[in-house]
Structure 1
Amino acid sequence: MNATRRSLLDGAARAFAENGLRRSTMQSVAAAAGVAKATLYNHFRTKDEVAGELLARELDRLADLAAALPTREALAALSDELGAHPVLRRLAEIEPETLTALLAVDPGTWTELTERLAHALGVDADGADLAARWLAGVVLHPGRSSARHRQAARLAEAVAAPAGDQAVGRERVSTVLSAPGPA
């Protein structure tokens, strides 16, 4: 990705974090990026195209982050990133329906996302699905970082079952989810 396009997406992130998706315009994105609107239109035709590419860039960044860490630390880092993400927090505040629409993906997209998460975390499909559902909950209700880190540690134990050992994995998930949390 060239520097101009990267700068445009950085500007879009600032505009979306400030105004939300609906209230942001191509003009506000261009202004946040410090370029003329014509420059933005040379790279993107619509605000939806900008938002889509920004989302794709964020998913790449988060997948790279997760892949570079052990599962427990990856889940904690992902929860911190999603729990404090400026665009997500702004959407939760002023456009909750937009945020829930972003999370309500079709089954094919969910499968792609969980496969990508499975690869990044080094877990099986069931473990990735469980982790993705937890992370979606973090987006909606981030809670405290310390609580998320404790949950990430418990979840990492649950999803650590070898890919072929699903019975043990289900037993671990059941045990971890039914265990009382720290006071």
Structure 2
Amino acid sequence: MSSTTRESTRDAILEGALEVLQRGGLRDARMEDVAAAAGFSRQSVYYHFRSREELLSALLDRGLGDLVGEMQRAVASAPTEELVLVALRFFAANEVLCRLLVTELWGISGDPNEPREIVARLDAEVTGPMARRLEEEAAAGVITCDQPWITAQALLGQVTGVAFEPIVAGKTVDLELIEPVLRGFTRAVLGLPAESATSGAQSGDGRS
């Protein structure tokens, strides 16, 4: 099997796993169901992923890669107060990733190293770039931020709080309700003036 074929097969299996997890919970996900959803035999799934845990870990890794890419693009171009909203929208659109993150960070997977690896990756590839952006804008006088790293952690922590709790509880993340509150909170933390109702609807056109 060529490397290209192997990679495309792995991707198809991961898509099948995502479909199975979207239909049900982590506890009910079986390799047989993943194989059926992906259109492969059970043996093919086990050829690429030796266990259910390895499959879920690969799915989590792919999801984290998508999150990192989304956040790094936002750090490069989005208005500062929009960064946390980008993370919020990503998690709201990727409920399976949220559930996997909660599972791993609570240590349910049984691998004591994986939660530490996830946190280290998020720190390096999400929190770090956001903190550097805050530091640059604070130095330029655009925002007020004495502790960029802690501020980035705190703002991203707000996202996980308002997104993960309803998702894990099987509820919908109400973006229309949450986004204005989170944007206002972020602007207050960064020393930006409060938005009027009309300017809030127009935000996202450029940097603050």
TM-score by length of 2: 0.62
Shift of 1:53: 1.0
Equivalent residues of 2:127, 2:152 under 8 A apart = yes
Q: Deviations over 1:78-109 (max 9, x none)?
A: 212212434268x5xxxxxx875444365674
> Which residue pairs with 1:163 in the alignment?
none
> Which residue pairs with 1:43 in the alignment?
48
Give 2:32's match in structure 1, choosing from 27, 43, 47: 27
- Between the aligned partners of 2:129 and 2:39, the Cα distance in structure 1 is 34
**1:54-133 superposed matches below 5 A:** 54-69=59-74, 70=78, 71-87=80-96, 100-104=102-106, 109-121=118-130, 122-123=133-134, 124-133=148-157
Stretch of structure 1 that moved more, 48-57 or 70-79: 70-79
Which runs of no fewer than 5 residues in structure 2 stay unpaired? 108-114, 135-147, 167-171, 195-199, 201-208
Corresponding residue SS for 2:180: helix
Q: Deviations over 1:12-64 (max 9, x none)?
A: 11111112111011111111111111111111011111111111111110111
Counterparts in 2 of 1:33 and 1:108: CA distance versus 1, 3 Å: closer
- Between the aligned partners of 2:37 and 2:96, the Cα distance in structure 1 is 14
Counterparts in 2 of 1:109 and 1:81: CA distance versus 1, 3 Å: closer
Q: Deviations over 1:129-148 (max 9, x none)?
A: 11331122111136421233
Which runs of no fewer than 5 residues in structure 1 stay unpaired? 92-97, 161-171, 177-181
How many residue pairs match? The answer is: 158
User: What percent of counterpart residues are identical?
Assistant: 23
Equivalent residues of 1:14, 1:32 under 8 A apart = yes
> Which residue pairs with 1:169 in the alignment?
none
> Which residue pairs with 2:158 in the alignment?
134
CA RMSD of aligned residues (A): 3.2
Counterparts in 2 of 1:10 and 1:155: CA distance versus 1, 3 Å: farther
- Between the aligned partners of 1:133 and 1:147, the Cα distance in structure 2 is 18
Give 1:150's match in structure 2, choosing from 180, 197, 204: 180
Say which one has the larger Rg.
2
